[in-house]
A and B are shown apart, each in its own frame.
Chain A
Amino acid sequence: MGAPVHVAGTGVISAIGNTTMECFAALKQHVSGIAPLTSLNSIHKGVLPVGEVKLSNEQLAENVGVDKTLNRTALLGIHAAKEAIAHAEFDIHRWRTGFISATTVGGMDKSEIFFPPFLVDPTQGKLRDVIYHGCGATTDLITAALGITGFTSTINTACSSSVNSIMLGARLIQHGILDVVVAGGTDALTVFTLNGFKSLMILDDNLCRPFDASRTGLNLGEGAGFVVLVSDKVLEEEYLESLAIVSGFANTNDAFHQTASSPDGRGSFAAMQQALTMADLLPSEIDYINLHGTGTQNNDLSEGTAIKRLFGDAYPALSSTKSMTGHTLGACGGIETVFSVLALQHQCVFPNLRFEQAIPEVGIIPQKKFESIAVRHAMSNSFGFGGNCSSIIFSQGR
Chain B
Amino acid sequence: MKAYIKGIGNISPQQTWGYNNFLDPPLEYHRNDLMAVEPDYSQWINPQQLRRMSRVIKMGVTSALMALKDAELEKPDAIITGTGYGCVQDTTSFLTKITDFNEQALNPTPFIQSTHNTIGSQIALLLQCHGYNQTYVHGAFSFEHALLDALMSLQENSAQSILVGGVDELTQISHAIHTRFDKYRREVKSTLTLFDAAEAGTVAGEGAAYFVLSGKDDTQTKACIHAVDTLFQPVQETLLAWIESFVRDRINIPFEDIDLVLLGKSGDEKADKQIDLMAKTYFPGASLGVYKHLCGEHSVSSSFALALATEILLSQHIPEPVIHKAVSRPIRNVLIYNPYFYQHHSLIFLTECHDIK
Contact = CB atoms under 8 A, between A and B. Distances in A.
Interface string B98-125: 1100111011100111111110111011
A175 B153 CA distance: 10
Interface of B: 52, 79, 84-86, 92, 94-96, 98-99, 102-104, 106-108, 111-118, 120-122, 124-125, 127-139, 141-142, 145, 149, 152, 155-156, 176-177, 180-181, 230, 232
26 contacts: A2-B156, A115-B96, A119-B99, A134-B137, A135-B137, A139-B138, A140-B232, A149-B232, A158-B115, A175-B155, A192-B111, A199-B111, A200-B108, A200-B112, A251-B132, A251-B133, A253-B79, A253-B124, A253-B129, A253-B132, A255-B127, A257-B125, A259-B112, A384-B117, A386-B120, A387-B133
A196 B114 contact: yes
Interface stretch (A68-76, A122-130, A279-287): A122-130
B121 A385 contact: yes
A237 to B, nearest CB: 23
Given A104-B115, A200-B111, A387 B124 contact: yes
B130 A253 contact: yes
B95 A198 contact: no
Contact of A157 (B99, B106, B134, B230): B134
Contacts of A32: none
Contacts of A123: 180
B116 A135 contact: yes
Nearest to B103: A43
Contacts of A387: 121, 124-125, 133
Given A130-B177, A386-B120, A136 B133 contact: no
Interface string A142-175: 0000000101111111100000100010011001
A39 interface: no
Contacts of A258: 52, 112-113, 118, 121-122, 125
A350 B124 CA distance: 35
Contacts of B79: 253
Closest 7 pairs between A and B when the two form their complex, measured CB to CB: A386-B121, A196-B111, A136-B139, A136-B138, A199-B108, A156-B116, A154-B138
Contact of B95 (A112, A152, A257, A385): A112
Contacts of B180: 123, 127
A259 B114 CA distance: 12
Contact of B130 (A134, A153, A154, A267): A267
Contacts of B120: 157, 386
A386 B85 contact: no
B95 A255 contact: no
A200 B113 CA distance: 12
A57 B47 CA distance: 46
A321 B106 CA distance: 30
A29 B128 CA distance: 44
- Residue of B79, B128, B136, B155 with most partner-chain A CB within 10 A: B136
B121 A388 contact: yes
A254 interface: yes
A153 B138 contact: yes
A254 B120 CA distance: 12
Interface string A101-125: 0001010000110011011001100
A191 interface: yes
A151 B230 CA distance: 7
Nearest to A329: B115
B104 A251 contact: no
Contacts of B142: 136
Contacts of B116: 104, 135, 156
A270 B128 CA distance: 14
Nearest to B79: A253
A251 B111 CA distance: 24
A214 B112 CA distance: 25
B99 A255 contact: no
Contacts of A153: 136, 138, 141, 145
Given A115-B95, A152-B232, A196-B94, A157 B108 contact: no
Nearest to A194: B103
A209 interface: no
Interface string A33-68: 000000000111000000000000000000000000
Contacts of A200: 108, 111-112
A350 to B, nearest CB: 28
B95 A154 contact: no
Given A192-B111, A387-B133, 14 more contacts: A122-B176, A131-B181, A136-B141, A136-B142, A153-B145, A156-B137, A157-B134, A195-B94, A251-B133, A251-B134, A253-B133, A255-B129, A267-B130, A385-B115
A370 B134 CA distance: 35
A157 B232 contact: no
Contacts of A252: 130-133
B121 A253 contact: yes
A86 interface: no
Contact of A42 (B103, B112, B122, B134): B103
